[in-house]
Structure 1
Amino acid sequence: MSFRRTAIGSAIGIGIFYGGLILSVGYFLDPHGFFATLRSERTLFSIGLSLEAATLAAAMALLVALPAGYALSRYRFRGRRLIDTLLEFPMIVSPAALGAMLLIFFNNPLGEWIQEHLLTFVFAFWGIVLAQFATVLGVAVRFVKSAFDEIPPELESTARTLGASPGYLFRTVSLPLARRGIASAAILTWAKALGEFGATITVAGTMAMRTETLPIAIFMRLETADITGTVTLIVILVTIGLGALFGAHALLERKGRG
């Protein structure tokens, strides 16, 4: 067997594995129960909460990732290697452990003061946003850095020789050139935030109609042996997530052709 066939076979095998998992859910899919669960107030609340929290978390992560990713891509400074390594922290530490660290922080004097005088995070909406933000921030910075890495430095050097300030250069040259990579980074970050579970359940808990995002709703339905409800919510989450990823990949392909 040639290497080409082996490589293609491996890729197809991965597709069959994950595709099979998705299709296996259909065995328990009951159309009547699906639409009944989909129209329920609790499901609609979970969908709305998930979309709102993921959008806020992804927007906040991207807001931080844009300057940070540019700095890591273009500048050499003390501590750069350490910061670049710490971007992998959410991948090394499990989401549940990351959520536990956040929970521990809010039990120290500074965290308690923040909760009492600024915002309530534990078992609250902003706890969901914070947990998702902490989980996706490193990924967002990594994606944005990759987008800036693909811009030829010569283009920016030319703009500098024409008298462009660093801020003006960033806004008028770097951002427009990296726009598709940044857009795909935003979509991928949002999709990851949407599916976040471990840190969210640790910080925000499992309160129905309050902190019940789609992944938490799936867990709660499964815990009560509600297979129809579990399958319905899985289909909803997978449909939204794969739709977002498809859009991101389409942007990347257009960027590659450009």
Structure 2
Amino acid sequence: MNDAGIGGSAADRERPGRLGWRSFAPTVVAAWAVLVVYAGLIAAALTFVEPGGLLSVLSSSRTWYSVRLSLGAATAASVLGLLCALPAGYALSRYRFRGRGWVETVLELPMVVSPAALGAMLLMALSHPAGQWLQEHAVRFVFTVAGVVLAQFVTVLGMMVRLAQTAFDGVPVELETVARTLGASPARVFRTVTLPLARRGLAAALVLGWAKALGEFGATIMIAGTMAMRTETLPIAVYLRLSAADLPGAAALIVLLVIAGLGALICVRWLSGGRSHA
């Protein structure tokens, strides 16, 4: 009996656990259908892009203000999110403590609650006496750039904590135990063993958090409003152009968001090891 009869083709042996796609053609068609749906949406937006209109939008000072604000706010929100996600994700990965189940449950809140509702809750919190005192004596959030960052931070925090937890789950506890038996303090173990081994997963969490913050709209509009050249992020700029029936202008801005989003996803795939499923 030849090798193919025993273990399949050489290509199949190089991919353990993989089956020939022809055996599951309907599932492959479904997978391609997902690609077609999103590729179709991108293609539909591109049909409204006019070369002259694209240049006009890209050369607009208002557009570049939105780009700078979006990039800056998303970066600030994702960095703050990572700073909170590091200790929270590590605690969820390593310890069993009272209330842990509730913490893991509320991490999914931004996924099941509308961003607009999340922003409304933020606005209500800022309307309470404690929130009013905070705005009067510390940082003003309503209709300000700080409000943009706050809305994005609250939206991405739960996802980033979950991703950080997953990254720490991938670090063997035995390595930390060995380091501690050799005399290293918990802080030193975290800094020299855990963080280096989880760095790719944490970097992916940062990139995904940044990309999600960049595209955040619902909570931002509730807190910061739609003030041109002040709180106008790229998603809000798209909304304002659509409100003015400027489809070519909106399509041009959508292209910028799509390029940024796809770039972030490609970066995450590279951080995950660059594995291709082709």
Q: TM-score of the superposition, structure 1-length normalised?
A: 0.96
Compared with structure 1, are the counterparts of its residues 79 and 255 closer, same or farther at alpha carbon in structure 2 (3 Å cutoff)? farther
**Contact 2:269-2:275 within 8 A present in 1 as well:** no
Residue 157 (1) aligns with residue 177 (2): yes
Structure 1 residue 109: Cα displacement: 0.5
Query: What's 1:68 paired with?
Result: 88
Query: What's 1:148 paired with?
Result: 168
Residues 15-34 of structure 1 mapped to structure 2, 5 A cutoff: 15-34=35-54
Match for residue 99 of structure 1 among 109, 113, 119: 119
Aligned equivalents of 1:13, 1:52: Cα separation in 2: 35
Compared with structure 1, are the counterparts of its residues 6 and 157 closer, same or farther at alpha carbon in structure 2 (3 Å cutoff)? farther
Query: What's 1:132 paired with?
Result: 152
Residue 183 (1) aligns with residue 216 (2): no
Structure 1 residue 112: Cα displacement: 0.6
Structure 2: gaps of 5 or more residues: 1-20
Compared with structure 1, are the counterparts of its residues 255 and 160 closer, same or farther at alpha carbon in structure 2 (3 Å cutoff)? farther
Structure 1: gaps of 5 or more residues: none
Residue 122 (1) aligns with residue 142 (2): yes
Aligned equivalents of 1:83, 1:148: Cα separation in 2: 17
Aligned equivalents of 1:168, 1:81: Cα separation in 2: 28
**Contact 1:61-1:136 within 8 A present in 2 as well:** yes
Q: Which amino acid aligns with 1:147?
A: A
Write out per-residue CA displacement over residues 80-132 of structure 1, whole angstroms, 9 at most, x where no aligned residue.
11101110011121100000001011111011101111011001000000000
Residues 226-241 of structure 1 mapped to structure 2, 5 A cutoff: 226-241=246-261
Match for residue 170 of structure 1 among 179, 190, 202: 190
| Aligned pairs, number | 256
Structure 1 residue 73: Cα displacement: 0.2
**Contact 1:120-1:127 within 8 A present in 2 as well:** yes
Aligned equivalents of 2:234, 2:66: Cα separation in 1: 5
Write out per-residue CA displacement over residues 211-235 of structure 1, whole angstroms, 9 at most, x where no aligned residue.
0000000000000000111011000
RMSD between aligned residues: 1.4
Query: What's 1:50 paired with?
Result: 70
Structure 1 residue 47: Cα displacement: 0.3
Match for residue 246 of structure 1 among 266, 270, 274: 266
Q: Which amino acid aligns with 1:149?
A: D
Structure 1 residue 254: Cα displacement: 4.2
Write out per-residue CA displacement over residues 181-200 of structure 1, whole angstroms, 9 at most, x where no aligned residue.
11111100100000000000
- Return the index of the structure with the highest Cα Rg: 2
Structure 1 residue 255: Cα displacement: 8.3
Structure 1 residue 4: Cα displacement: 2.7
Aligned equivalents of 1:124, 1:42: Cα separation in 2: 17
Structure 1 residue 249: Cα displacement: 1.2
Q: Which amino acid aligns with 2:155?
A: T
Residue 40 (1) aligns with residue 60 (2): yes
Aligned equivalents of 1:255, 1:114: Cα separation in 2: 47
